[in-house]
Homo-oligomer: A and B are copies of this chain.
Amino acid sequence: MNKAIILKSRPKGTPQLSDFKSIEEKMPQVMQGEVLLKTLFVSVDPYLRGRMSDAESYVPPFELNKPVSSGIVAEVVESKNDNFKKGDFVSNLLEWKEYQVSTGEGLQKLDPSLQPLSVYLGIVGMTGMTAYMGLTKIGKPKAGETIVVSGAAGAVGSVVGQIGKILGCRVIGIAGSDDKVEMLKSKFGFDEAINYNTTKDMNKAIAEAAPNGVDIYFDNVGGSISDAVHRNINQFARVIICGAISLYNATELPMGPRVEGLLIKKSALMQGFIVSDFSDKFAEGAQQLGQWLQEGKLTYEETVVEGFDSIPEAFIGLFTGKNTGKMIVKV
């Protein structure tokens, strides 16, 4: 029998284990032109929370009682498609199933000799691409500028900070534990890092860490942490809105200080994006990220949870900061 994890109910507020259900189904049959894929690594990402609601969004919501899907690395275990052979490793947006068939469309072949397979879900995958596109295409950093990154110890944030350093900027990270703060400085080369859980006056802490003000704010979290960063932005600042994890589970419309006055006063820009807005620049991004990784200029961190049945728990853990770097489930 094959296993799948379906969305049983649309989460209200923070997702609960009871919103998901593990089901068994018959093993799929492989038709001519198809391949059978065995799931090896599953990426769990904050943005999936949006697709679990039925509110209008840039991507359609997940259907109830159907498997959830996310970025997955799989092995071809049977092939009736000339483009793939048994033993190939591939990745794509796939369903939370132990086994599934694919026509091959959209499957990207992976080379396990270049880097561990899970990394294709992270720094050289959509995670790294998201960091690269947001920072370079919207933020347009200039050497000597100051970048603040929230959710800095997360999958995207830790790459943003490293790219900022490569480009000659001062980089300040905001994260939620002393361990993460320490790692941002020692492993990822951030100039300063702030633990928002133990800092009383975030406004002042950011002002001290950024004595020349904040030119670029790469925002993964939204909410009150962002309010404190906004108070420290410079003229012509760029605020890149990549995520708002602090708001995803809100059950009412989140309120906060209006930003219009600030944006005028500072002639500042705020721009939201998703990585696919820049799909015409993916080739450039992949080339640049791969080069930096091979030159040893980029490093990464993974939090690996074991077992197919742990996928919902790993996903839910994102909202309480259980992960450092990319959260991966190894099946």
Contacts and interface: CB of A to CB of B under 8 A. Distances in A.
Interface of A: 50, 56-58, 219, 222-223, 226, 235-236, 241-244, 247-248, 253-274, 277
Contacts of A265: 50, 56-58, 272
Nearest to A255: B255
Contacts of A222: 258, 260-261
A260 B248 CA distance: 11
Given A254-B258, A256-B258, A241 B264 contact: yes
A307 B154 CA distance: 62
Nearest to A262: B272
A257 B223 CA distance: 11
19 contacts: A58-B235, A58-B266, A226-B260, A241-B260, A241-B263, A241-B264, A244-B264, A247-B261, A253-B257, A255-B255, A255-B256, A260-B272, A262-B272, A267-B271, A267-B273, A269-B270, A269-B271, A269-B272, A270-B271
Given A58-B235, A235-B58, A255-B256, A270 B263 contact: yes
Contacts of A259: 259, 270
Contacts of A269: 269-272
Nearest to A277: B267
Contacts of A223: 258
A263 B258 contact: no
Q: Which of A223, A236, A262, A264 has the most CB of B within 10 A?
A: A264
Contact of A264 (B236, B253, B266, B273): B273
A247 B264 CA distance: 12
Q: Nearest 9 A-B pairs (CB), nearest first?
A: A263-B272, A264-B272, A222-B260, A244-B260, A256-B258, A269-B271, A254-B258, A270-B270, A241-B263
A272 B277 contact: no
Nearest to A263: B272
A56 B261 CA distance: 12
A85 to B, nearest CB: 39
A229 B236 CA distance: 25
A223 B242 CA distance: 24
Contacts of A50: 265
A270 B226 CA distance: 16
Nearest to A47: B264
Contact of A272 (B56, B247, B256, B268): B268
Given A222-B258, A254-B258, A257-B254, A271 B272 contact: no
Contacts of A253: 257-258
Nearest to A257: B253
A270 B241 CA distance: 11
A258 B247 contact: yes
Given A256-B258, A263-B272, A268-B272, 15 more contacts: A50-B265, A58-B267, A222-B261, A241-B263, A244-B258, A244-B264, A247-B258, A254-B257, A254-B258, A256-B257, A263-B271, A264-B272, A267-B272, A269-B271, A270-B270
A265 B49 CA distance: 13
A58 B235 CA distance: 8
